Amino acid sequence: MAAEMTVTREKLAEYLAAPDKFDCGIAIFHADVITMSPGTVNGYFCPPPQVRLFGDGWKKLFDDAENASKLTSDQLSEQPTSSSANHPLDLSSEKKQAAENMLYVTGCAENDLLSLKVNMYRPAKRNPESFLSKQMKVVAEPSSRIRSGSTVAIFNKSETAGTRYLHVSSDGPHLIPSHDNWSPLVIYHVTKPNPRQRQDPVKLKSGDIYHGSFVKLVDRITGVVLPDVRIMKVLEHGVIPLDELNSRNHPVCQLQNYALQMIQDSKSYMSIHDDVIGTYTSALLTVQKMDQITDAEEWTIMSTDEAKFRFYEAMGPVSGPVTPVPTIIDIKMKKTVKSDRTPITLVEFIGSNFRNEHQIWCGLHELRQSPERITCFHPTHQEVSNPPGSEMFREVSGEVGFPITITRSDGVIYGTPYYFVYNINNGSSRLEKIDPLTEFTNS
């Protein structure tokens, strides 16, 4: 029998003590644009959409439902299919990750905005539970610049081997080329390269990344940091020397070809040989004075995006779907005064899928909400420390953080990446968002 009980403070405390133990998390990774095929109305995904499960809560769902938590059906499609059909993904309790290489969009027009919908079917639910990706724009020719701190996919194309993506395998972990899986890599522009990967402080630059920039790549799934490389522009299998171009006039853009020059040796470039990621030492073209490379050293960069959802049926299975998941996109704080001139701080939650049945918490403290919109009074350190069990939030260096959590009236908990961090000495507070890498560490 389905439980329809409001989340108790005790149950919330149990969850907040170890969210990874209870969370059922879904992450949808995809390109931020859909590329139209020339002369057609079809749009294609590059890299292919990828779905990943994280959190140990899935173990209970798989066990309790006889491994029936699945997407659409049991068999993977073998032929390219349009967006109007279901696309089954193998997301067994052992695999936890799947990519859909056969998906395309029909009848699309340039500048259309589209989203992917991932349906989850459970025997106890009458209807599927649907999770939407971020929006993707349909474009004829991607021209967006790559910015420092953004997430990208990097891949190599050749006539003989097809498309192979940089993928950090969780077995090791180590870097491999893959036809099916790709790693979402955060690309950072660094002012000074770190050839030996020492633990020295790293200075990052904001803004666009340009030809000749030193970059650091960090896998969002495993947290693995790849060796620093230099992005070099390529023309007809030749690496253009820096003195031949004004680097500020040549930003790194989507779907253009680049070489990834190794820091230790300017003649060596990241390469694929015999399905292994390695280095290739180039020959010098005496006429153009360019390093000569092959298809195996030419890489393409594509901007990507992701949507992440977390839920936990804390009071037992609910009769209806856990979706749509309420999502916080941003939090704004505004200082004001009451009618008696007492200073207060209002907190406005900006997001989607909020309803009257949702309650927002800071630690174990319920936030009082305005009935007109998602605006709450910002609690003081004393208020968030008062509820029984709040001692679970430990002080570190004179500060203590309280997670922002959303609950639903029928007993579902939705975790968020946001925290209010209080200085226990002066009572001041600030908003923080946890490093998204940590969400996948133990998955």
Write out pLDDT tens, residues 310-357.
999 999 999 899 999 999 999 999 999 888 998 888 899 999 999 889
**59-72: string of b/e by CB count within 10 Å (b at 16+)?**
eebbeeeeeebbbb
Assess contact for 145 and 257: CB atoms under 8 A. Answer: no
Q: CATH 2.60.40.1450 residue ranges in the chain?
A: 26-142
Q: What is the pLDDT of residue 116?
A: 92
Supply φ then ψ for residue 244, to 5 degrees.
-90, -15
d(CA 24, CA 298): 39
Which residues does the chain have with pLDDT short of 50? 1-3, 67-82, 371-372, 436-443
SS3 call for 360: strand
CB count within 10 Å of CB 281 equals 12
Q: What is the pLDDT of residue 262?
A: 93
SS3 call for 183: coil
CATH number corresponding to 326-440: 2.60.40.10
Write out pLDDT tens, residues 90-108.
665 555 677 777 677 888 8
Q: What is the pLDDT of residue 173?
A: 75
Q: What is the pLDDT of residue 43?
A: 81
- Name the residue with tokens 């490389």: 229
Q: What is the pLDDT of residue 63?
A: 76
Assess contact for 217 and 225: CB atoms under 8 A. Answer: yes
Closest by CA position to 49, among listed 65, 71, 31: 31
Regarding the domain delimited by 26-142, which CATH topology (the fold level of the hierarchy) does it fall under? Immunoglobulin-like (2.60.40)
d(CA 97, CA 53): 6
Q: What is the pLDDT of residue 141?
A: 79
In sequence order, what are the residues at sequence separation of 6 or more whose Cβ sits closer than 8 angstroms to the Cβ of residue 59? 93
Pairing of strands 81-82, 103-105: parallel
Q: CATH 2.80.10.50 residue ranges in the chain?
A: 150-304
Q: CATH 2.60.40.10 residue ranges in the chain?
A: 326-440
d(CA 48, CA 404): 33
Please state the pTM of the whole predicted model: 0.85
Architecture of domain 150-304 in CATH? Trefoil (2.80)
Q: What is the pLDDT of residue 69?
A: 41
d(CA 201, CA 392): 32
Three-state secondary structure readout of 28-61: EEEECEEEECCCCCCEECCCCCEEEEECCHHHHH
